[in-house]
A and B are shown apart, each in its own frame.
Chain A
Amino acid sequence: EVQLVESGGGLVQPGGSLRLSCAASGFSFSNYEMNWVRQAPGKGLEWISYISISVNTKYYADSVKGRFTISRDNAKNSLYLQMNSLRAEDTAIYFCARDRDYYDPSADRGVFDYWGQGTLVTVSS
């Protein structure tokens, strides 16, 4: 069974930092591209970052570029999001989401077939 479990959320002051983790199980994590998506209170979903299987390629939403860094450790089946210079508007539930199997030629990049339940980040003084 595919499982994605986020952790690391919490209350942080504006300007502070936090590192989120996503533990993956039930599939060959190293074969899959991964993403982070967030949902601010009362708002819709917002894609914020992508990472390739080899970590050579990363993309970010403009709203987090230069402040957030996505990474992964394939040996630990884990995805990470380092969040620096946090702002009140970063308050949200953060989800990790599985993207395509890189080795499946029929798979569409950008389709998120499994998601975690999310971890809440609150930025407030």
Chain B
Amino acid sequence: IVMTQSPATLSVSPGERATLSCRASESVNSNLAWYQHKPGQAPRLLIYSASTRATGIPARFSGSGSGTEFTLTISSLQSEDFALYYCQHYNNWPRGFGQGTKVEIK
């Protein structure tokens, strides 16, 4: 299964909404997770089961979708949210990640 994220780079002003997309080449049902990654740090789980926030993740992060189309929305970007974001399916083996979306300051 190939995971494709868009856009590759998203330029957003602090306080604005960011919408990231992830598409699977075939259905992954709701077996989809989102991660945030900053250089030099450990990746951080944000969302699993397509729409369930992980422990401690702020409510401004939300996920939606099922099957082949998924969205991660950050409702009001904070300074600490500028990072790389990856989607990952876990519907079968091998696990697959998208190529990432970089959210940068506009």
Contacts and interface: CB of A to CB of B under 8 A. Distances in A.
Interface of A: 4, 35, 37, 43-47, 50, 59, 61-62, 95, 97, 108-118
Contacts, number: 67
Interface of B: 31, 33, 35, 37, 40-45, 48-49, 54-55, 86, 88-91, 93-100
A2 to B, nearest CB: 10
B56 to A, nearest CB: 11
A108 B97 CA distance: 17
Which of A47, A108, A111 lies at the interface centre, i.e. has the most chain B CB atoms within 10 A of its CB?
A111
B96 to A, nearest CB: 7
Nearest to B37: A45
Contact of B90 (A4, A110, A116): A110
Which of B44, B88, B93, B94 lies at the interface centre, i.e. has the most chain A CB atoms within 10 A of its CB?
B94
Contacts of A97: 43
Given A37-B97, A44-B86, A114-B42, 17 more contacts: A4-B42, A35-B95, A43-B99, A44-B97, A45-B35, A45-B43, A46-B97, A59-B94, A62-B94, A97-B43, A109-B90, A110-B89, A111-B33, A112-B35, A112-B88, A113-B54, A115-B44
